[in-house]
Amino acid sequence: MKTYTLLIFIFILATGCSDNSSKDTAFAIKQCENFIKENMKVKDYISLETKTIDTWGKNGNIVIDMGYRNEGSDGPFTMRLCVIDLAKGLIEVPGVFGEAQWKK
């Protein structure tokens, strides 16, 4: 978790961006993919495949609707939201009860 926070913070310092540009969104998507691949897998030896469904801005954050499943599986994607706060350098994957505030 600290690695992702540090990477986001370095990105902010390097770019000086405060709006949700396409560069910010691409960076946020990559961070979300990395976070999900590392934290949502059930077993260490099973890799996850991710798929970005949609992105939008809300309350100054970038919200990403991300799907994930076991790599090589043809089953359905499990959906999660990632909320990236570039200003604070934070990434959040809200639980079921916290997702409502970030929906479109």
pTM above 0.85, yes or no: no
Contact status, residue 64 vs residue 29, Cβ threshold 8 Å = yes
Q: Which of 45, 52, 47, 44 is nearest to 27 (CA)?
A: 52
For the stretch 33-56, pLDDT in tens is 999 998 887 777 788 999 999 999
Q: What is the DSSP letter of 89?
A: T
Question: What are the domain boundaries of the chain?
Answer: 2-95
Q: Which two tokens stand for residue 50?
A: 């991710």
d(CA 29, CA 7): 13
Backbone conformation region of residue 65, classed left if phi is above 0, alpha if psi is from -120 to 50, else beta? beta
| Bigger pLDDT: 10 vs 95 | 95
